[in-house]
Amino acid sequence: MSDTPVSHEPDVSEENPISEHWVWAGHHRPAIPRVLVDHMTSHWAPEPAREATHPGAAHFATRRHRLAEEFPGRTLVIPSGSLKVRANDTDYRFRAGTEFVYLTGCQDPEAVLVIAPGAEGPRSTLYVAARRDHRTHEFFTDARYGELWVGARRGVDESATFFGVDCASLEYLTKDLESLSATTTLVVRGLDLEVDSLVEAHADEVRLNEVLSEMRLVKEPFEIAHLEAAIASTVRGFEDVVRALPLATQFGERVVEGVFNLRARVEGNDVGYNTIAASGSHATVLHWTTNDGEVRHGDLLLLDAGVEHHELYTADVTRTLPVSGTYSPAQRRIYELVLAAQDAALAVVAPGVDFLEPHRAAMSVLAQGLIDLGILEGPLEDVLRPDRQLHRRYTLHGVSHMLGLDVHDCAHARNESYFGTLKEGYVLTVEPGLYFQPHDLTVPEEYRGIGVRIEDDVLVTSSGGRNLSEALPRRADEIEAWMAGLWSGPSGTLSGR
């Protein structure tokens, strides 16, 4: 028998979290009896073995090596990003930083990749949070990482095996970063403010971001497979939305967003960007993501949405659909003009072609169309003159951007790379649109409030372009037939596939 009486008063605090009888559990939470901790951390069956290696591990190692070669003698720090508070003690769902995922395949929050020069070549260390499994009281006292709270996850050893890279516990990160020289260390900033504050900024970090974007311009075959998977799920999401249109006419754009996003969660990680579910004149607002409007019979629905696949590659597709299933004559006129512009743009995608060539091809068709509709005064050359460009009141945006892990991928590539010539393996969107604001007095009344965008995802091949999203119909007749077909088939949530 112990001669020490068990205290019924916790003798622990934040400064002194563990005593013989009590364990500190955090602010506003009662201390936990030591005997309960012992009980909670014992008598658990061993865990089943996990999958051995990430299928992309060898690719990630090659990428780290290529990156290090661009920065000899430098230590490179690439964080996954910190959790972001949504409200008080609840966070947004975490999405790891693109550069970090590209170099590791890891999607952990608060993790950091450090690539340091070494005598035998660059050495990569991935800092990840240690397990909070039943070997520690944090198992049930740590609401952010404790595995009873958030589920089991990979720790240091499991991550090293799975991602094929040396790993260290996050608890050593601060000390290790503080020991780095500010003159030779470059950080990808803006993702993890704590990491940013530990290493002084360096002018060459601009170059680090450029290289990380430019490395991603050409997609490897396994990346294209991920994009294709994201696009296939996106196609099914569009089909879901068509099936749900009767419900949307009852409850509005929220149904469109909810139904598409359901498919994104069922088949992918999430949506790659906030779904644009724009009905009626909301279609003339480029990034309408409020999605709280009505969906009226007789209006158009512009749906710009993409599923982000599990490895975080995203689709980016837009269709403009007649809510009733049939385009009105005025809607069809504008639709076919945008379609002709997209056809012209798609036709010129090929290696060696200027990045802006699809844009120019589309703009010439749209500008001529605006002249034919009596909205602009010709001739075409005058409209398109660099010092005039009046068509842009209605076309509003460029026709292409790169697509990959980010929806606007490779954003830090230098202008001369991004706006250079297309190369085999690039994936870009082709997405012309026409937007007639509801109060635009330069537009005939019958067209006011009409917004049309058609967007596909195109891979540059050795000889031209391959439309990766061609499974979704683009032509007006085909869209009407496709919608009618979906309405005559099985209805209900996720009924396709």
List the catalytic residues.
Answer: 89, 287, 304, 316, 397, 401, 408, 431, 435, 453, 455
CB within 8 A of 191, min separation 6: which ones? 79, 80, 81, 82, 97, 100
**Given the complex with Mn ion, which of 399 and 476 has the nearer CB atom?**
399
**Given the complex with Mn ion, which of 138 and 316 has the nearer CB atom?**
316
CB of residue 26 to Mn ion, shortest distance in Å: 44
Q: List the interface residues with Mn ion, window 260-289 (CB under 5 A).
A: none
Handedness of CA 391, 392, 396, 397 (dihedral sign): positive
**Given the complex with Mn ion, which of 158 and 343 has the nearer CB atom?**
343
**Given the complex with Mn ion, which of 198 and 278 has the nearer CB atom?**
278
Q: Are 304 and 275 in contact (CB under 8 A)?
A: yes
**Given the complex with Mn ion, which of 316 and 343 has the nearer CB atom?**
316
The Cα 240–Cα 496 span in angstroms is 7
Q: List the interface residues with Mn ion, window 420-439 (CB under 5 A).
A: 429
Q: Applying CB under 5 A, does 99 fall inside the site for Mn ion?
A: no
CB of residue 290 to Mn ion, shortest distance in Å: 19
Instruction: Provide the b/e sequence for 217-254 (b: ≥16 CB within 10 Å).
Output: bebeeebbebbbbbbbbbbbbbbbbbbbbebbbeebbe
Query: What tokens were used for 236?
Result: 């099914």
Count the residues of the shown chain that bind Mn ion, applying the rule CB under 5 A.
2
Which one of 147, 192, 223, 316 is in contact with Mn ion (CB under 5 A)? 316
**Given the complex with Mn ion, which of 80 and 469 has the nearer CB atom?**
469
Q: Where are the beta strands (DSSP E) in 129-197?
A: 166-169, 185-187
Kindly indicate which of the ranges 20-28, 188-196, 315-323, 468-476 contains the residues binding Mn ion, using the contact rule CB under 5 A. 315-323
Q: Are 336 and 434 in contact (CB under 8 A)?
A: no
Long-range contacts of 252-259 (CB under 8 A, 24+ apart): 252/279, 252/292, 252/293, 252/294, 252/295, 253/277, 253/278, 253/279, 253/282, 253/291, 253/292, 253/293, 253/294, 253/295, 254/291, 254/292, 255/295, 256/291, 256/295, 256/301, 256/303, 257/291, 259/493
Kindly indicate which of the ranges 22-30, 192-200, 281-289, 308-316 contains the residues binding Mn ion, using the contact rule CB under 5 A. 308-316
CB of residue 272 to Mn ion, shortest distance in Å: 10
Q: Are 430 and 317 in contact (CB under 8 A)?
A: no
CB of residue 428 to Mn ion, shortest distance in Å: 9
CB of residue 155 to Mn ion, shortest distance in Å: 38
Kindly indicate which of the ranges 112-120, 240-248, 251-259, 311-319 contains the residues binding Mn ion, using the contact rule CB under 5 A. 311-319
CB of residue 429 to Mn ion, shortest distance in Å: 4
The Cα 442–Cα 451 span in angstroms is 15
Kindly indicate which of the ranges 183-191, 222-230, 314-322, 382-390 contains the residues binding Mn ion, using the contact rule CB under 5 A. 314-322
Please give the residue ranges that form the binding site for Mn ion (CB under 5 A): 316, 429
